[in-house]
Structures are given as structure tokens and as C-alpha cells.
Amino acid sequence: MAVTKGVAVDRIRESFQCGVRLFGENRVQEFQTKREALGGMDAAEWHMIGHLQTNKATRAVELFDAIDSVDSVRLAEKIDFAAEQLGKKIPILIEINVGGEPAKSGIALGSGELDNILSAAQGLRSIEICGLMAVPPYSDDPEQSRPYFRQMKQLFDNVSLQRSPGVRMKTLSIGMSHDFEIAVEEGSTCVRIGTAIFGERQSARSKD
């Protein structure tokens, strides 16, 4: 996945022409402006990967093909309602705060919210839970991410074994520009690459 937060439209279009088809954006408002200028890219698939406030869920469903940062039952319900109104079915990933960092969004391990979302999915007809996403604590040493990635793979496997209705686990979204090789070794099926494709961006807040 090419992360296009803070990336100009012409560079996004250039990456598409080079064969990229899967894109991730962090902010609804920023992508809304870009989407209008990105005509002719019908084959592109756009995922919302940043923290999503519930009051922006409807607009996100209108703009994106998938939402990879669901961290509460309430948000899942909002997405489901908006998707039903639009006649869409939205794939979602559940975001896990695997490092327990207060400044990051995502479900805290051991909080019970993951089980709550999985249970709620049985009654939500316009979303499908397709996997998990996480951003481990940043370190200059990519090896420091390995235990967090390993923990996410174990959690992914455990959820897969439950075979819950409304859940079809196929995506483990872990790994970014500085640690994607480690993530792939530990079982990632989707790495989110921004800096390694587009270079450093002044507006970037993380090493995606």
C-alpha cells in the first residue's frame, strides 16, 4: 500500500502510472480534496488508514473503498449504518494499539473491545471485518518492531480460528518504510509504505 498523506496529486498519479493500485490516506478532508483531482484512476483502491472520528464516518464511507482503522463498536456501527444507506459493503480492519501508547489510537490489548467488535459484527450487515492493523512503537532499529509484529500475528491467527460470522480474516496490515522487511518475515500481508516511495514529507508525523 502506498501511503499518500501529504503527497501531491501529480506524484500520486505518477505512482499509479508506475503500477501502484492500493493507496492509503490518513485524513478524510485531505483525501476529499485529492479525490476530486484524481479522475481517470478508477482501478485504484483507496483505504482510510488514519484515526477516524465517528462524526466523519459517513463521509469516509462515501470516499473510501475500505476503512482500516476501526477501534470501537460505536465506530463500526456508524460505518455500517452509512454503508447501508449508500448500498455499499465496506471491508474494515480493526486497529490494535499493540504498544499500549497513550498518544496512539487503536484498541488496547486486554480491554475486551476487540471481542466486543467481533460480537457486534454478527448483526452488522454492511461491513465485513477482514483483518487487523497496527503501528508498533517507533524505533530506529527495525528489530525492535519484531516482538510487536509477532504478537499481532498470533492475535490474527487466534481471531481467524474463531470463525465468527461477519469476520473473514485475510489481511494483517503491519510494517512501514523502516521495518517492512521484519513485518513480512513475521507474517504481514500488507505493508504501508510512504517515505520509501515518495520521500520525506514535511507534513508527515510518522515514519510510514
- Write down the pLDDT at residue 39: 85
Q: Which residues of 126-163 are buried (b: 16+ CB within 10 A; e: fewer)?
A: bbbbbbbbbbbeeeeebeebbebbebbbebbeebbeee
Q: Kindly report the average pLDDT of the chain as a whole number.
A: 94
Chosen CATH of 2-198 out of 3.20.20.10, 3.40.50.300, 3.90.1150.10, 3.40.630.30: 3.20.20.10
- Write down the pLDDT at residue 200: 84
- Please report which helix (H) or strand (E) contains residue 23, including its range: strand 22-25
Per-residue pLDDT averaged across 154-164, rounded?
A: 94
> Considering the chain, what percentage of its residues have pLDDT values greater than 70?
97
Per-residue pLDDT averaged across 116-136, rounded?
A: 96
- Write down the pLDDT at residue 204: 41
pLDDT reading at 16 higher than 50: yes
